[in-house]
Amino acid sequence: MVVEDSPVQRAHAVALCRQLGIELIYEACDGAEALLQLGMLQLKPDLMLIDLHMPVMDGVELITHMHERGWKIPMLVVSSQQQSILNAVQELSSTLGLPMLGLLAKPMQREQLESVLQHYSQCKQRNALPSSSRPPIAVTSADLCHAIDTDQLQVHYQPKVDIPTGLVRGMEVLARWTHPELGRIPPDQFVALAEKENLIFDLSMQVLRKTIDQAAQWQHTGFYPRLAINLSPLLLDSPYIVTAICDMVTSRGIHPSQVVLEITESAGIEHLGRVIAVLTRLRLQGFGLSLDDYGTGFSSMQQLARLPFTELKIDRSFVHGAHLRSNLCVILDSALDMAKRLELTSVAEGIETLEDWRLLQQCGCNVGQGYLIGRPMPAEDIPGWLRSHRMRLPELRAPQAGSENKVEALVRA
Ligand code: C2E
Ligand code: CA
Ligand code: CA
């Protein structure tokens, strides 16, 4: 279905669709007409091409109504609006869990539409439509409790590397759970379940114990990576956590300075006084403290000012694709500047491309992590990864200084 108020643009879009072999095409001259037609159609269209600025009902309102009615029709936005508006529409569709295939500028080119449609049909074959909301797998707290008791949880390690040189600085520890019948459960889901069902202490202690066992083994072979462990803010309001963590780490001959605790900011820390005390005591013991997912919550600056962090970990939503989007670049640059002034190590997560890596190099970010460098992997894969990573160091190293500041160039463009 083509939803477009300009008759010329609509005819152009319809013609392109026909050239690409689409036979049945519905046309609507604004959101209201599209909604009306969709309501009458038993079989919804496979794809919607949606303009944004239209009289009566604009494209954003149409998308919102489609969401309210539960119509998850793959869509492509075709618009000549500013990039920041297009970004917001992309954000909206991913927040609502609607499948957005892409955003194209007008006039739409045949090659662009063709490439979007190709990508779409590949996704359809793999049954992997771009939607942010995959339905959760039905696991219960009893399942999770059993998994913890029977040692079903595993840990994977994702490298964190020095951005100027590519050298390994440490690894983040990520929990994994493969349920015997339901298969892999995403950590976001089981960590949230553990937090809700009062299992987060047991889960975290199991992850910590496995990590420290592994660190002790690596230490025997002369490998001393810094290990970053995720800690739920819910754990931080009990003074016992300090002793529990310290005992676990030091009992295996690991020094606390080898461990960084990544804390996700949480909007509603209930007992702030207790949390400040716990985190300050952990710092006193020598643990590093990282403010994880920086930029995603509304209290992040407040937390930075109150708590003794050593590291600022910028959320991947500001990193991924930053080289293409000047507004992300500006946010990234100011977060890095702030980290520098506060004498914190800056870490960027979610680096997937060499272009974003180069940008971070130019902006002076200290440490990076992401699929470009290495995916989370089991401990036994680390030696092989280290060998292949060594071969990539020349490619990753920063080109000599003297080139123009990339952020300024992007903003100017
Ligand atoms: P997080 O702390 O933000 O961890 C980083 C997540 O980003 C990981 O997802 C990692 O696999 C993913 N990631 C890394 N590089 C890239 C990249 O280049 N692109 C993209 N798109 N993603 C990348 P994962 O393993 O699914 O973990 C999700 C979240 O679950 C973690 O987010 C963390 O908040 C939580 N989590 C995982 N393990 C634990 C744990 O042991 N304890 C606690 N409390 N939370 C945990
Ligand atoms: Ca983390
Ligand atoms: Ca993170």
Q: What token pair was written down for 100?
A: 């957005």
When pLDDT is cut at 50, 70 and 90, the band that residue 112 belongs to is confident
Residue 401 neighbours by CB distance under 10 Å: 7
DSSP letter (8 states) at residue 375 = -
**Strand residues in 221-314 grouped as ranges (E):** 226-231, 259-264, 288-294, 311-314
- Per the prediction, the chain carries an average pLDDT of 89
Q: Which pLDDT tens digit goes with each residue over 270-316?
A: 777 888 899 999 999 999 999 998 887 655 677 777 789 999 999 99
The Cα–Cα gap between 48 and 71 comes to 11
CA 18 → CA 25, 122, 198, distances in Å? 8, 20, 57
The Cα–Cα gap between 103 and 90 comes to 8
Helix (H), strand (E) at residue 346: strand 345-348
| Residue to mutate (ligand 1; options 184, 189, 191, 210; most atoms within 8 A of CB) | 191
Distance in Å, CA 293 to ligand 3 centroid: 4
**Residue 413 CB contacts under 8 Å (≥ 6 apart), including other chains:** 326
Distance in Å, CA 172 to ligand 2 centroid: 7
Ligand 1 pocket residues where CB is under 6 Å = 158, 174-175, 186-188, 191, 204, 207, 230-232, 262, 264, 292-293, 316, 349-352, 369-371, 376
Give, using CA atoms, the residue closest to atom 46 of ligand 1.
230
- Provide the pLDDT for residue 132: 44
Ligand nearest to the CA of 228: 2
pTM: 0.74
The Cα–Cα gap between 184 and 383 comes to 25
Ordered structural domains, the chain, with CATH: 2-126 (3.40.50.2300), 141-412 (3.20.20.450)
Q: Which pLDDT tens digit goes with each residue over 174-203?
A: 999 998 888 889 998 999 999 999 999 999
